[in-house]
C-alpha cells in the first residue's frame, strides 16, 4: 500500500460521496456545504454549482448520474448540466438534507437524510427502487457508512453519533430482512464511523471522522489495518482506477479554525486490493 497522495487540491468544506464511474473511468464527489459536484477528467478539474445541498450520486449510464439533493433525487446530465426530477426527498421538511448514499447490487439506490444542524434523530435511510422511494430506517441522527457485501446478501450502515456500524441482511430483491445486527462497535475507541465501502473480498473500509484514517474490517468485523490520511476529518472512501485498486477518500475542513494543508482535500492511495465496481442505478 502506497502513501496517500493528493488527488485534488480544491478544499471542500464537507467533502463527501465519492463515486468512481466505471464506464467513464472518472471520479465524482461533492462538497455538501459548498453545494457543488466536483470531478476531474482529461481536461482537468471540473465542477457544477447547485442552489441547494447535494451529497451523493449513483450512475445511470455513461452520461447520466442520479444525484441526491436536500429536496429530491434527480437525473443529471454530465455533459450538458441538464437536470430532470425523479422523486422528492423530504421536500416538505426544511430541517433536513441528503447525506450518505450508494447503489446496491440490485440497482436500487440507498440514500440517507439528516438534520442540517445534526438535529437528534431527524434523519432516515431510504431506498429508491423501480421508481419508488421507500423509507427503510428512521430516527437516525447522522446516517452514514451505506455499503454492500459483494454477494448482495447484506448492507451496512451507521449512525455516527452511536459509534456503531450495523449489518443488515437482505432478501433476494435487496430489501431488509430481519433487524440490523451489530457489525463493529467503535465506542470503546471513541471512533466516529463516517462513509464506508466494501471491497471485492467483503472487507469494509470505513472513514473515521476526527481520526485521520480509513480502517479496514474483515467480513466478521475484525480490525485488519488502517490507512492514515493527512486530514483529520476523513469522510468517505471509494474504490476506482483501472483495476479498482485505488482507494479515493474525501475529507472536510468544516469546524476547523485553522485547517491544515490536507483538510478538505481529496486523496488517493494505491492499495493492491480490488474494490467492487459501483453498481448501475436502475431508474
pLDDT in tens, 195-245: 999 999 999 999 999 999 999 999 999 999 999 999 999 999 999 999 999
CA atoms within 13 A on the CB side of 92: 0
User: Per the domain annotation, does 187 fall within a domain?
Assistant: yes
User: What are 40-56's pLDDT values in tens digits?
Assistant: 999 999 999 999 999 99
Range of the domain at 75: 5-270
Look at residues 270, 264, 276 and name the one whose alpha carbon lies nearest to residue 14: 264
How far, in Å, CA of 17 to CA of 15, rounded? 7
* Beta-carbon contacts of residue 243 (< 8 Å; ≥ 6 apart): 274
pLDDT, one tens digit per residue, over 175-199 is: 999 999 999 999 999 999 999 999 9
**Contact at 8 Å (CB) between 238 and 198?**
no
Give the pLDDT of residue 1. Answer: 73
pLDDT on residue 99: 98
Q: 233: which residues sit within 8 A by CB, 6+ positions away?
A: 209, 210, 212, 251, 252, 253, 254, 255, 256, 263
Residue 282 is assigned to a structural domain of this protein? no
> Which residues have a catalytic role annotated?
194
- Does the residue 279 lie in any domain? no
Asked if the structure places residue 229 within a domain, the reply is yes
> Is residue 276, in this structure, part of any structural domain at all?
no
Cα distance between residue 127 and residue 1, in whole Å:
34
- Cell of residue 278, nine digits: 459501483
Asked, for residue 283, whether it belongs to a domain, the answer is no
pLDDT of residue 2: 83
277 assigned to some structural domain: no
- pTM (2 d.p.): 0.97
Degrees (nearest 5) of the Cα angle 254, 258, 262?
A: 70
Structural domain count of the chain: 1
CATH number at residue 44: 2.120.10.30
pLDDT tens-digit readout, 132-159: 999 999 999 999 999 999 999 999 999 9
How far is 233 from 230, CA to CA, in rounded Å? 9
Strand (E) or helix (H) holding 30:
strand 26-31
For residue range 55-77, list pLDDT tens digits in order: 999 999 999 999 999 999 999 99
281 within some domain? no
Amino acid at each position: 500500500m502506497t502513501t496517500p497522495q493528493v488527488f485534488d487540491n480544491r478544499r471542500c468544506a464537507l467533502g463527501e460521496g465519492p463515486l468512481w464511474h466505471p464506464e467513464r473511468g472518472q471520479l465524482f464527489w461533492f462538497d455538501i456545504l459548498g453545494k457543488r459536484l466536483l470531478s476531474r477528467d482529461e481536461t482537468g478539474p471540473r465542477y457544477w454549482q447547485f442552489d441547494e445541498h447535494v451529497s451523493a450520486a449513483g450512475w445511470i449510464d455513461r452520461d447520466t448520474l442520479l444525484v441526491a439533493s436536500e429536496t429530491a433525487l434527480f437525473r443529471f446530465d454530465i455533459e450538458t448540466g441538464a437536470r430532470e426530477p425523479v422523486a422528492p426527498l423530504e421536500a416538505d421538511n426544511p430541517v433536513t438534507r441528503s447525506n450518505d448514499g450508494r447503489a446496491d447490487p440490485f440497482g436500487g439506490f440507498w440514500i440517507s437524510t439528516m438534520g442540517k444542524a445534526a438535529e437528534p434523530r431527524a434523519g432516515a435511510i431510504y431506498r429508491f427502487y423501480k421508481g419508488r422511494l421507500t423509507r427503510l430506517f428512521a430516527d437516525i441522527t447522522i446516517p452514514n457508512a451505506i455499503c454492500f457485501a459483494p454477494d448482495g446478501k447484506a448492507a451496512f450502515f451507521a449512525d455516527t453519533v452511536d459509534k456503531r456500524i450495523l449489518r443488515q441482511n437482505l432478501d433476494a430483491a435487496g430489501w431488509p430482512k430481519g433487524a440490523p445486527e451489530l457489525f463493529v462497535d467503535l465506542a470503546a475507541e471513541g471512533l466516529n464511523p463516517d462513509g464506508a465501502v466494501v471491497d471485492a473480498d467483503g472487507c469494509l473500509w470505513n472513514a473515521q471522522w476526527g481520526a485521520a484514517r480509513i480502517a479496514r474490517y474483515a467480513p466478521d468485523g475484525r480490525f485488519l489495518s488502517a490507512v492514515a490520511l493527512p486530514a483529520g476529518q476523513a469522510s468517505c472512501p471509494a474504490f476506482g482506477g483501472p483495476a479498482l485498486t485505488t482507494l479515493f477518500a474525501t475529507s472536510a475542513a468544516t469546524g476547523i479554525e485553522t485547517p491544515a494543508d490536507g483538510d478538505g482535500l481529496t486523496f488517493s492511495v494505491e492499495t493492491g486490493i480490488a474494490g467492487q465496481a459501483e453498481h448501475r442505478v436502475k431508474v
